[in-house]
Structure 1
Amino acid sequence: MAEVVLYTDYFGLSERPFTLVPDPSLIYWSVQHKRAYSVLQYGLLSRAPVTLVSGEIGAGKTTLVQAVLREMDADLTIGLISNAQGGRGELLRWILNAFGVDTDDLPNEYVALFQRFQDFLLEQYTTGRRVVLIIDEAQNLSAEGLEEVRMLTNINSNKDELIQLVLVGQPELRDIIRGPNMRQLAQRISASYHLDRLDRDGVGAYIAHRLRAVGGTGQEFAPDACDMIYDHTAGIPRLVNQLCDFSMLYAWNDEEKQITAPTVAAVLADGVFFGDTEMEPAP
């Protein structure tokens, strides 16, 4: 038993199906994920100034964005920033760094940074490339930061947009953008979608899909185990992954080939799962 790498060999899997690292190859295409994918793809292909993807923590937003980008044309220049903070100018330096634009020779002065960024956009445009800036966890930006980002979409060449923004964040991001002082940003959003939590049936289908994707049968979790996992994760995929991962570990340790409700209960009783069990489940 010591030769087994965790539980993967025991269950005949090629890899762990429930890791927390975003993996587009394991994405579960629920109805809402398919719709979100189409909206995001539409936003990029139609050159929408701003595309918004929101959802609960762990709903699969980042994984979805990665899946879309893998299928896009090679003429995209993509910059990604996450949890960016700071005042005027500091955010712009974050953005420049995301695109690999050197700013070491520039003072922390907004005009100089803005000019460097504008020159970068024009250079990309003349070579036929489209620039896409993805801001993950965008709800952490201040109102000033969001306005600074919005102003970047004012840089254009005739009718062509030189930069497209993809804002990814938690549900409060939508509330912030709907505020009276964010009207100009809201008017620039041409495509948006909100990813909700999975319902009870969706959790069972999600678990089976992840297992089959790595060589399993999809039947490794009994229906009563799936129900208990739903009850204690509120249908949030990231929490489902955590609880499933520990449950498979416990089943391997107890030499059980199927995870049942008592196995999940043992994980919960031992306190190794730190999910937010007080959240209301999805209907």
Structure 2
Amino acid sequence: MTQSSFYLDYFGLNERPFTLVPDPEFLYWSPQHRRAYAVLEFGVLSRAPITLLTGEIGSGKTTLLQNLLAQIDEDVTIGLVSNAQGNRGELLQWVLNALDVPIDADATYVQGFQKLQDFLITEYAQGRRVVLVFDEAQNISREGLEELRMLTNINSNKDELVQLILVGQPELRDMVRHPSMSQIAQRVSASFHLNRMDLETTQGYIGHRMKLAGGTGEEFTPEACHLIHDVTGGVPRLVNQICDFALLYCWSEESGKTVTACMVQSVVDDGVFFYQQRIEKEAQA
């Protein structure tokens, strides 16, 4: 079965509107996403030592980050590290790999740090800035965060040679706020936390993605959107998951091209929406 024979033709869509893969082209600029992006831009342009962006799983952090990286100036060298873990020295290796800085496998930590420092000084001499981006940074240990903080101490006169952007789930914000992490907290010059979408934003989000995919934006009834928001808690990735199934159910029933609350409820009742139980537990907590 080809994708075109799926529900796409039925709704007159050019592509699936609710995939789980982050796609900057489908970014919905809600007020808080605009503010979050402004903070990211400010962090880069103001040469903030550390910029912090946190939010729930699937809240759009990675999509915002991808949009930022696509727009960044050519005089900025970017090192992107995803899901970095490990102890002292291993994190430095992640950084060197992200910046394409070669180093011998048996090099000591001091030699690796010197390699990084030499690279940063060379980039600075050529009029370039270096920004290290850590996605899923909640996986970095407190010791690792402290090691990253030390990188921001590398400077030339009054200019810092490297900036950090830390992106992660809410526990990253909690880690940075811990009293034992006061030194790294003091280096955070720009920060933003993405909350879940409210009902109005959820409705706009669903309509926006349907329009971008070639639809009218009115395929989901207000009642369906309301139920989707209740079930997902307004987390974009979860909204994508249940909307994708709702379109599938609507197509399979061939009862019209409007997704109703009853169809959404059928998705929930059939248990194909795996996050439902977790959302209910969080709501009761």
- TM-score bracket, shorter-length normalisation: over 0.9
Listed one character per residue, the Cα deviations across residues 68-118 of structure 1 (whole Å, up to 9, x for unaligned) are 222221112111112211111011001111112222x24252101101111
Aligned: 1:193 with 2:192: yes
Rounded Cα–Cα distance in structure 2 between residues aligned with 1:277 and 1:108: 47
The percentage of aligned residue pairs carrying the same residue is 62
CA distance in 2, matches of 1:235, 1:2: 31
Report the 3-state secondary structure (helix = DSSP H, G, I; strand = E; otherwise coil) of the residue aligned with 2:280: coil
Q: Name the SS of the counterpart of 1:139 in structure 2.
A: helix
CA–CA separation in structure 1 for the residues paired with 2:22 and 2:71: 16
Residue number in structure 1 paired with 2:219: 220
1:118-129 matches, cutoff 5 A: 118-129=117-128
| Secondary structure class of the residue paired with 1:172 | helix
In the aligned structure 2, how far is the partner of 1:93 from the partner of 1:18? Answer: 36
Q: Distance in 1 between matches of 2:281 and 2:145?
A: 29
For residues 239 and 95 of structure 1, the distance between their equivalents in structure 2, rounded to whole angstroms, comes to 32
Match of residue 146 from structure 2: 147
SS in 2 for 1:194: strand
Q: Which residue of 1 aligns with 2:260?
A: 260
The answer for unaligned runs of 5 or more in structure 2 is none
- Asked if the contact 1:81/1:136 (under 8 Å) is kept, the reply is yes
Structure 2 counterpart SS, 1:38 = helix
Given residue 278 of structure 1, which amino acid in structure 2 is its aligned partner? Answer: E
Q: 2:279 aligns with which of 259, 262, 277?
A: 277
Q: Does 1:26 align with 2:20?
A: no
1:270 deviates by 1.6
Greater shift after overlay, 5-14 or 46-55?
Answer: 5-14
8 Å CA contact 1:4–1:10 kept in 2: the answer is no
| Contact 1:54/1:169 (8 A) holds in 2 | yes
Alignment TM-score, normalising by the size of structure 2 = 0.94
Confirm whether residue 99 of structure 1 aligns to residue 99 of structure 2: yes
Alpha-carbon distance between aligned partners in 2 of 1:106 and 1:190, rounded to the nearest angstrom: 35
1:40 aligns with 2:22: no
Q: Please tell me whether the aligned partners of residues 106 and 112 of structure 1 are also in contact (alpha carbons under 8 angstroms).
A: no
| SS state at 1:278 partner | helix
User: Structure 1 counterpart of 2:140, which letter?
Assistant: L
1:248 and 1:152, CA in 2 relative to 1: closer, same or farther beyond 3 A? same
**Deviations for 1:210-235, whole angstroms, at most 9, x for unmatched residues?**
11112211101111111111111000
Query: What is the deviation of 1:279?
Result: 5.3
- What is the rounded CA distance, in whole Å, between the counterparts of 2:87 and 2:42 in structure 1? 32
Identify the residue that residue 72 of structure 1 maps to in structure 2. Answer: 72
Maintained 8 Å contact 1:106/1:113: no
SS at the partner of 1:86? coil
Q: Aligned equivalents of 2:43 and 2:13: distance in 1?
A: 37
Alignment partner, residue 241 of structure 1 = 240
Per-residue CA deviation, residues 98-156 of structure 1 (Å, 9 max, x unaligned), is: 112222x2425210110111111112112222111111111111111000011000111
The one-letter code sitting in structure 2 at the alignment partner of 1:74 is E
CA distance in 2, matches of 1:83, 1:132: 17
Deviation at 1:280, TM superposition (A): 4.7
**Are 1:52 and 2:52 matched, yes or no?**
yes
Structure 1: stretches of 5+ with no match in the other structure: none
**SS of 2:81's equivalent?**
strand
Structure 1 contact 87–145 (Cα < 8 Å) conserved: yes
Q: Does 1:161 align with 2:163?
A: no
